[in-house]
Amino acid sequence: MALDVMNCVFIRNGYSGIPYGASAGEAAAGYATFATDGGGVRGEGDDNRVTASRFESNDRGIFFEAGRGLQITGNHIRGSLQPGISLGRRRAGGPALVTDVTVRENAISNNLDVGIRVGAGLRVTVEGNTLAHNWNSGIIVLDGDSVTVRRNRIHENSRIDTNGRGSFEPEAFGGLAVMDPVGTVAILENEIQSNSPGLFTHTAGGIRLLMTRSAPVTLTGNTVFANEGDGILIQGIGTGVRVNTNNITGNRGFGINNFTVATINAERNWWASPTGPVRGAAAADNPEQVAGPLDTQPWAASPLAYPSIP
């Protein structure tokens, strides 16, 4: 039987709302002793819906490990010890776990982990959400196929190098991270601003792409602005990645930092200068600096105008 949750309030389920300790060790011990690994809504199965509800200081906000036809829309989620929304898990070579999923118009903030985490997803749309001040990444997509991330506001995430469970291996990979995609991922018309790397093991502030296989990943129409670290970091295997018609300005690292050996198509972007990007030491100064094999010509001669995100 499908789960249909609407206009509900979930407060302090599986978590007291009180931090477990000032140090990571104390937090980890407190989590092991007192938390339930549950949260506000936890389930699996098909055609479940969670909408127009409020989640405050739960272990997780919403957690579905498997299912088809999930709809998560219009919720307010804050203060979770683990991700605000967690769907699926790592694929580990197996089939997709969550399919035909819509995550739309949720406000997700101040969670002590990732805002939205999607693992082993197929035909997933993450659209129109606001993600701010989460300890780890705003959105992370793991092992995804046919995933669309569109028109989200992703501000000031990934500022902490631990998480609410006291782990020193948090998913703090900048504002938006795409890790090990197995198929198409489209990142479209998002506003990604003032996010941080979180971890010292990488330099991504805005977007991190970590590719272990060739997959079609496109970044189109995004505003990547004033992030700590690199605006866009590409690692692993870069074939199939395209970065076109974005506004990439004011990032404290490189606008694009390509660590792969593949030449990335980065044409028609705006780099805060009609003369295009420059090669040189990374800085917040404009025009943007870039690094690694990139095809940046032609570039946009003026900022690209996109409809504002409501």
- Residue range 65-123, pLDDT digits in tens: 999 999 999 999 999 989 999 999 887 778 889 999 999 999 999 999 999 999 999 99
- Distance in angstroms (rounded) separating the CA atoms of residues 30 and 43: 25
* Spatial CA neighbour of 215 closest among 192, 244, 236, 191: 236
Angle formed at CA 106 by CA 253 and CA 53, multiple of 5 degrees: 150
How confident is the prediction for the chain on average, in pLDDT? 91
DSSP H/E element including 103: strand 98-104
Give exposure, 228-244, as e/b (b: 16+ Cβ within 10 Å): bbbbbbbbbbbebbebe
DSSP H/E element including 25: helix 24-34
Helix, strand, coil % in the chain, rounded to nearest 5: 5, 40, 60
Q: What percent of the chain has pLDDT over 70?
A: 94
DSSP state of 99: E
308 pLDDT tier (thresholds 50, 70, 90) = confident
The pLDDT of 159-173, averaged and rounded, is 80
242-269 pLDDT per residue, tens: 999 999 999 999 999 999 999 999 999 9
pTM for this model (two decimals): 0.94
Structure tokens at 122: 């197929």
Structure tokens at 90: 């790592």
Indicate the residue type of 306.
Y
